[in-house]
């Protein structure tokens, strides 16, 4: 098994730590075995004024930054329900749709980008929802429905079979030009959506695509 | 406003008054729990009273819960032959009405109504058995760890904390612990603070806190604690393991630096409470200022 990221790349750890701790003095890095935990108070600040604060823990697992940071609210304030976008099984916060990661937290982005982006947006939304306001930037539907919505936006169709075939291609190591295009126009991929697919296959991890495909298939069986 | 005035205001903002909604709700729940336990163990005449931060005067609004001890007479077997039996029977008694989450020696009470999704009532029931007729020392069951029995004395703990003269510093340190998500147990932090501030009870709050943080920063490995209720019997060293000490060192160093660079308000925040409308307005403006909006998802079906 390979070394955990912080041991393999101590420079990255220092860079991440310095950036985050400079921007958020109330968040602290702790190394426990193979993981790095960032714990403390996350403030929602505008023009130096604090409007709310959450007690959070962000876990950076062994294969970070390949794997996404895992966010938890540890103050017991947010109920662990799908409606509040908290995973009821383990209390993790679903701050973004993993398939969309390449758009909102692309490779090379730092942890600070993640905190200033999806994490801030998530907790800002929680505070507004707590006050009876809607989610400020909307939300993805739960489970496979959210994945379907995302690919619908990308592909321009909400046909689940088309979407599943498209995501299925993203699970393949190589995308072949002679495969039929999932868009359904009867053309081969090379004459249709090949470039888009190849581009996306560099952005959406195959393991993630496999997981999304499983969820989509489960959903299509149900509906 | 001086630093000590500011810290005094922080303490006021963290005080749960007897008339506060939070404390009233806890006390009502506590009365219900007591009734339930007395009915269930009618023949055993348990001693039921407050323990924990409520009894010690170290409760803070930001993170509070209520410890309710339920100790049985030393010669009673009606509640159970062994300590484990007592623990399990108390659990059964409470499970009729509550969702009970077992902890090492206590039973955490939650809402059993599925629509309330196990909302935490912030009450821990601590079952145990007095060691003799004096009703001082008691044995508690431990569901985890090597030792299955823990000897304690609630009155000794309460006296130790209340008479330390440093309960205000303890409350602020607890707030600091909560805000920084530190894993040190509250009662260990209390004992450490009392030990470190033994000769400084007359100092101002700011001096007291800075002293504790400097000790954590510079000599965390030397910090030790003993359980005043059982100094030689209860080994608390595992509760101050390397991980806990490392956290204390890291966060104390950063706290002291923060005070130096930005002042005390950077540690405990503003004491001016915002109205709901001001908060809503501020949050709306913060949302409008977001450059890259993202949407949350949910893995749950």
**Contact present, A101 and A65 (Cβ < 8 Å):** no
**Contact present, A212 and A171 (Cβ < 8 Å):** no
**Distance from C-alpha of B19 to C-alpha of A3, rounded to nearest angstrom:** 55
| Closest alpha carbon within chain A to B251 | A28
Task: Identify which of A62, A96, A69, A92 has the alpha carbon closest to the alpha carbon of residue A80.
Answer: A92
Given an 8 Å threshold on Cβ–Cβ distance, is A131 in contact with B276? yes
Ramachandran area for residue A157 (φ above 0: left; ψ -120 to 50: alpha; else beta) = beta
Q: Which two tokens stand for residue B18?
A: 């007897």
- Calculate Rg over the CA atoms of chain B: 22
| Closest alpha carbon within chain B to A135 | B295
Given an 8 Å threshold on Cβ–Cβ distance, is A121 in contact with B285? no
Judging contacts by C-beta atoms under 8 Å, the chain B residues touching residue A123 are none
Mean pLDDT, residues A89-102: 94
Q: Does B269 touch chain A (CB under 8 A)?
A: yes
**Contact present, B39 and B3 (Cβ < 8 Å):** no
**Residues paired with residue B138 on neighbouring β-strands, in sequence order:** B130, B152
- pLDDT of B173: 98
* Interaxial angle between packed helices B242-262 and B205-219, expressed in degrees from 0 to 180 and rounded to the nearest 10: 130
Given an 8 Å threshold on Cβ–Cβ distance, is B294 in contact with A88? no
Cis peptide before A65 (omega within 30 of 0): yes
**CB atoms inside a 10 Å sphere around CB B187:** 19
Mean pLDDT, residues A185-214: 92
Largest Cα–Cα distance in chain A?
58
Q: Does B178 touch chain A (CB under 8 A)?
A: yes
Judging contacts by C-beta atoms under 8 Å, the chain A residues touching residue B251 are 28, 40
> Residue A223's pLDDT band (boundaries 50, 70, 90)?
very low
Q: Which two tokens stand for residue A19?
A: 């950036």
Q: Does A77 touch chain B (CB under 8 A)?
A: no
- pLDDT of B1: 85
3-state secondary structure of A121: helix
Tell me the ipTM for this assembly. Answer: 0.92
**Distance from C-alpha of A143 to C-alpha of B298, rounded to nearest angstrom:** 6
What are A129-181's pLDDT values in tens digits?
999 999 999 999 999 999 999 999 998 889 998 999 999 999 999 899 999 99
**Contact present, B172 and B268 (Cβ < 8 Å):** yes
Task: Identify which of B113, B190, B102 has the alpha carbon closest to the alpha carbon of residue B140.
Answer: B102
DSSP state of A30: E
Of B179, B254, B283, nearest to A51 by CB-CB distance is: B283
Edge-first strand listing for the sheet containing A70-73: A27-32, A35-46, A49-60, A70-73, A92-93
CB pairs under 8 A between A and B: 155
Scanning A120-139 for CB atoms below 8 A from B yields 120-122, 124-125, 127-128, 131, 133, 135-139
Given an 8 Å threshold on Cβ–Cβ distance, is B117 in contact with A50? no
**Distance from C-alpha of B54 to C-alpha of B45, rounded to nearest angstrom:** 23
Q: Does A100 touch chain B (CB under 8 A)?
A: yes
Q: Does A55 touch chain B (CB under 8 A)?
A: yes
- pLDDT of A89: 84
Given an 8 Å threshold on Cβ–Cβ distance, is A118 in contact with B294? yes
* SS3 assignment for chain B: CCHHHHHHHHHHHCCCCCCCHHHHHHHHHHHHHHHHHHHHCHHHCCEEEEEHHHHHCCCCCCCCCEEEEEEECCCCCCCCCCHHHHHHHHHHHHHCCCEEEECCCCEEEECCCHHHCCCEEEEEEEEEEECCCCCCEEEEECCCCCCCEEEEEHHHHHHHHHCCCCHHHHHHHHHHHHHCCCCCCHHHHHHHHHHHCCCCCCCCHHHHHHHHHHHHHHHHHHCCCCCCCCCCCCCCHHHHCHHHHHHHHHHHHHHHHHHHHHCCHHHHCCCCCCCHHHHHHHHHHHHHCCCCCCCCCECCC
**Contact present, B245 and B235 (Cβ < 8 Å):** no
To the nearest whole angstrom, how far is the Cα of A5 from the nearest Cα of chain B? 20
**Contact present, A99 and A171 (Cβ < 8 Å):** no
One pLDDT digit (tens) per residue for chain B, 301 residues: 899 999 999 999 999 888 899 889 989 999 999 999 999 999 999 999 998 898 999 999 999 889 999 999 999 999 999 999 999 999 999 998 999 999 989 999 998 887 666 678 899 999 999 999 999 999 999 988 778 888 999 999 999 999 999 999 999 999 999 999 999 999 999 999 999 999 999 999 999 999 999 999 999 999 999 999 988 887 888 889 999 999 999 999 999 999 999 999 999 999 888 899 999 999 999 999 999 999 999 886 6
Mean pLDDT, residues A93-106: 95
Please state whether the predicted TM-score (pTM) of the whole model is above 0.80: yes
C-alpha distances out from residue B160 to B66, B193, B194, B239, B297, Å:
19, 12, 9, 19, 49
Question: Which secondary-structure segment (H or E) carries A212?
Answer: helix A206-222
Burial class (CB in 10 A: 0-12, 13-18, 19+), B160: middle
Scanning B93-122 for CB atoms below 8 A from A yields 117, 119-120
Largest Cα–Cα distance in chain B?
68
Q: Does B280 touch chain A (CB under 8 A)?
A: yes
- pLDDT of A222: 46
Task: Identify which of B141, B114, B126 has the alpha carbon closest to the alpha carbon of residue B54.
Answer: B126
More confident residue, B211 or A91: B211
Average pLDDT, chain A: 93
Collect all residues with Cβ–Cβ distance below 8 Å to A97 and sequence separation of at least 6.
A140, A146, A147, A150, B295, B297
Given an 8 Å threshold on Cβ–Cβ distance, is A94 in contact with B274? no
DSSP state of A28: E
Most confident of A12-16, A186-190, A215-219: A12-16
What are A125-142's pLDDT values in tens digits?
999 999 999 999 999 999
- pLDDT of B146: 77
Of A30, A83, A137, nearest to B247 by CB-CB distance is: A30
| Closest alpha carbon within chain B to A85 | B298
| Closest alpha carbon within chain B to A73 | B181
Of A57, A94, A130, A152, which to mutate for an interface test with B (greatest number of B Cβ within 10 Å)? A94
Mean pLDDT, residues A75-88: 91
DSSP state of A86: B
Of A28, A117, A134, A144, which to mutate for an interface test with B (greatest number of B Cβ within 10 Å)? A28
Taking the alpha carbons at both ends of chain B, their separation in whole angstroms is: 53
């Amino acid at each position: 098994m390979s070394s955990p990221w912080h041991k393999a790349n101590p420079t990255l750890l220092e860079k991440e730590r310095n950036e985050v701790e400079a921007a958020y003095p109330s968040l602290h890095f702790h190394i426990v075995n193979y993981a790095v935990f960032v714990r403390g108070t996350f403030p929602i600040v505008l023009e130096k004024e604090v409007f709310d604060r959450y007690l959070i823990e962000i876990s950076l697992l062994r294969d970070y930054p390949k794997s996404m940071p895992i966010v938890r609210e540890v103050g017991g304030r947010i109920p662990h329900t799908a409606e509040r976008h908290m995973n009821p099984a383990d209390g993790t916060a679903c701050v973004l749709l993993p398939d969309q990661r390449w758009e909102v937290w692309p490779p090379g982005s730092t942890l600070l980008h993640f905190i200033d982006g999806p994490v801030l947006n998530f907790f800002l939304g929680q505070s507004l929802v707590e006050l009876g306001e809607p989610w400020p930037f909307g939300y993805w539907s739960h489970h496979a429905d959210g994945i379907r919505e995302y690919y619908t936006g990308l592909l321009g169709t909400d046909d689940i079979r088309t979407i599943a075939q498209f995501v299925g291609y993203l699970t393949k190591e190589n995308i072949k030009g002679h495969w039929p295009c999932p868009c359904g126009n009867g053309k081969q991929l090379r004459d249709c959506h090949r470039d888009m697919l190849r581009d996306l296959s560099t952005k959406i991890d195959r393991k993630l695509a496999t997981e999304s495909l499983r969820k989509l298939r489960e959903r299509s069986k149900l509906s | 406003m001086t630093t000590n005035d500011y810290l005094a205001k922080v303490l006021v903002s963290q005080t749960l008054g007897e008339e506060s909604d939070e404390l009233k709700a806890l006390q009502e729940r506590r009365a219900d729990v007591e009734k339930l336990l007395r009915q269930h163990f009618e023949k055993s005449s348990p001693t039921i009273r407050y323990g924990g931060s409520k009894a010690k005067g170290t409760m803070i609004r930001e993170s509070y819960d209520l410890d309710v001890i339920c100790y049985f007479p030393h010669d009673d077997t009606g509640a159970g032959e062994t300590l484990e039996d007592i623990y399990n029977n108390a659990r059964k008694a409470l499970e009729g009405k509550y969702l009970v989450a077992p902890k090492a020696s206590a039973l955490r009470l939650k809402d059993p109504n599925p629509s309330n999704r196990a909302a935490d009532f912030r009450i821990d029931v601590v079952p145990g058995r007095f060691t003799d007729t004096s009703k001082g020392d008691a044995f508690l069951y431990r569901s985890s760890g090597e030792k299955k029995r823990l000897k304690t004395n609630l009155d000794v703990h309460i006296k130790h904390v209340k008479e330390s003269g440093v309960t205000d510093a303890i409350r602020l340190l607890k707030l600091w612990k909560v805000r920084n998500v530190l894993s040190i147990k509250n009662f260990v932090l209390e004992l450490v603070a009392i030990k470190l501030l033994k000769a400084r009870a007359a100092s101002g709050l700011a001096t007291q806190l800075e002293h504790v943080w400097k000790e954590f920063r510079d000599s965390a490995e030397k910090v030790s604690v003993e359980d005043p209720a059982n100094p030689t019997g209860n080994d608390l060293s595992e509760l101050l393991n390397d991980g806990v000490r490392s956290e204390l060192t890291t966060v104390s160093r950063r706290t002291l630096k923060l005070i130096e660079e930005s002042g005390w308000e950077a540690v405990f925040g503003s004491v001016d409470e915002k109205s709901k409308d001001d908060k809503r307005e501020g949050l709306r403006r913060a949302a409008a200022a977001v450059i890259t909006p993202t949407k949350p998802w949910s893995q749950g079906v």
